[in-house]
Amino acid sequence: MAQINADFESGILAFIIQRDGKDLARIPEKPVGKFGRPLFQSMSYHDTPERPLPEMRMVDRSPTAGVKHEYRVIVVNGVGLRSPIRP
């Protein structure tokens, strides 16, 4: 289970899924937003998330999906900085 810290200043832009140290997917592929910067969870002028809510799911459909791999989740904040990789 990955532990992710909230970034209250710049928000979360996206999550990068890595398999064996290489980027496999970016969720969402292209963030959207009506106000300010595009973020994972669109900004609004209230505390309720904008719908539709982004799906928190990634399925590895590669030919080697049944083989044992090491997966990591990296958080990208609103200004493009990636979270540190932890062992």
Does 71 score more than 80 pLDDT?
A: yes
CA dihedral 23, 25, 29, 33 (to 10 degrees): -80
Model confidence at 65, pLDDT cuts 50, 70, 90, reads low
Higher pLDDT, residue 9 or 17 = 17
Cα 48 to chain centroid, rounded: 19
pLDDT in tens, 16-55: 999 999 999 888 877 766 666 666 666 666 666 667 766 7
Residue 8: name the closest of 72, 78, 86 by CA: 78
pLDDT in tens, 23-34: 998 888 777 666
Reading the block at residue 77, the tokens are 């904040």
Cα 24 to chain centroid, rounded: 12
Strand 12-19 to strand 22-27: parallel, antiparallel, or no bridges (unpaired)?
antiparallel
Which residues partner with 71 through β-bridges? 19
Strand, coil or helix: 37: coil
**Mean pLDDT, all residues of the chain:** 75
Domain boundaries in the chain? 1-87
pTM here is 0.69
